[in-house]
Amino acid sequence: MSAPANCNRLGLSKNDYAGKPSTLCKGCGHDSITVAIQQAYYDLGIPPHEITKFSGIGCSSKTPTYFVERGHGFNSVHGRMPSVATGASLANGNLHIIGISGDGDTASIGMGQFCHVVRRNVDMVYVIENNGTYGLTKGQFSATADFGSKGKKGWSNPYPTIDCCALAIELGATFVARSFSGDRKQVIALLKAAQAHKGIAVLDIISPCVTFNNHEGSTKSYTFVKEHDVPLHELGFVPSFEEIQVEMKEGELKDIELHDGSHLTLKKLATDYDPSNAIGALSVIHEAKEKQQIVTGLLYFNKDQKDHNSVLNMTSRALNTLTEVELDPGPEVLKKINSSLK
């Protein structure tokens, strides 16, 4: 029996993936990402109650209230979302975890936790809604603002930028992508692939701040990003439950099979790009920066690394379901321990 019209494979409507109305500024890049997230989960037919949302503090961190209200959400403290998400994934490895962070939340106060959640390869989607500015506190530079980029007050950023994608690759991330909130098709394809990936998937999405960082001289304005966005490939996503049917000339298309059996297809654009080469990825990122280009697409992918719970050799049963029966070592063990302490 096929699903009714306007429903996904679970028979759920888009409304089942909806959240509260956004309270962000009109035209905020984050809102388009929110829409993309809902679309991606809907298309994939992920049960909404299994989607578990985490965030820190900041404009981006408010967004988990705006999508999938039927999933639990946790708006934690500034820069510390990664540890909270890590803990939850230990308690229940079957959750579909998405963490939403911003450039302030990740690249400044949360830099330490970002590095370590990447290093541990926690099974989650980690979205950085990157606008290069502190919106909620009215327009200070963040650590991802480009050197020389102009702030709202006309001042130039005196510090070099931190590139979260390059950093993530360096730290051993297993899925690293960059996108632009204005390119919804690409964002959705990457979100779906990230969801299918077992391990951490870092998505750095340039998401212009219409109120504090959309002026001339800013390298994170809509106009600037549109003009300087260089997609590495055209992305297509084929979920595990659909048959892959693509006809393409030899060498034109790369097919990446993800952990859950779905596929991400990479159609060649100007140059051939190999996302399995970490060093190559770093070169491309750095060369693009010199040319003031923003390369978008799947920058790096590595399927071979174990995710955190597997590294810890954990049972596949959720720890939160275990009871006295499984967890009590019993009286005989205690007796033995007592006698070993004499």
Site for another protein, rule CB under 8 A: 47, 49-50, 52, 54, 64-65, 69-77, 80, 82-92, 94-95, 112-113, 115-116, 120, 309, 312-317, 319-320, 322-324, 326-331, 333-335, 337-338, 341-342
Closest contact distance (angstroms) between CB of 130 and another protein is: 22
- DSSP 3-state assignment of 115? helix
DSSP string, 178-198: EEETT-HHHHHHHHHHHHHSS
Closest contact distance (angstroms) between CB of 329 and another protein is: 4
Closest contact distance (angstroms) between CB of 312 and another protein is: 5
- Closer to another protein by Cβ: residue 216 or 324: 324
Alpha helices in 129-255, H assignment, sequence order: 164-170, 184-196, 222-228
Q: Which tokens go with 13?
A: 């409507």
- Closer to another protein by Cβ: residue 65 or 221: 65
Closest contact distance (angstroms) between CB of 239 and another protein is: 21
- Closer to another protein by Cβ: residue 88 or 285: 88
Closest contact distance (angstroms) between CB of 229 and another protein is: 33
Closest contact distance (angstroms) between CB of 109 and another protein is: 10
Burial of 111 (0-12, 13-18, 19+ CB in 10 A): middle
- Closer to another protein by Cβ: residue 154 or 331: 331
- Closer to another protein by Cβ: residue 245 or 320: 320
Asked whether 219 and 286 are in contact (CB, 8 A), the reply is: no
- Closer to another protein by Cβ: residue 29 or 48: 48
* Nearest CA among 69, 63, 70, 134 for reference residue 99: 63
- Closer to another protein by Cβ: residue 13 or 276: 13
DSSP category for residue 16: G
Over 250-280, what HEC string results? Answer: CCCEEEEECCCCCEEEEEECCCCCCCCCHHH
Determine the length of the chain: 342
Burial of 273 (0-12, 13-18, 19+ CB in 10 A): buried
Q: Taking the C-alpha atoms of 132, 108, 66 and 48 in order, what is their torsion angle to the nearest 10 degrees?
A: 130
Distance CA 328, CA 307 (A): 28
Closest contact distance (angstroms) between CB of 318 and another protein is: 8
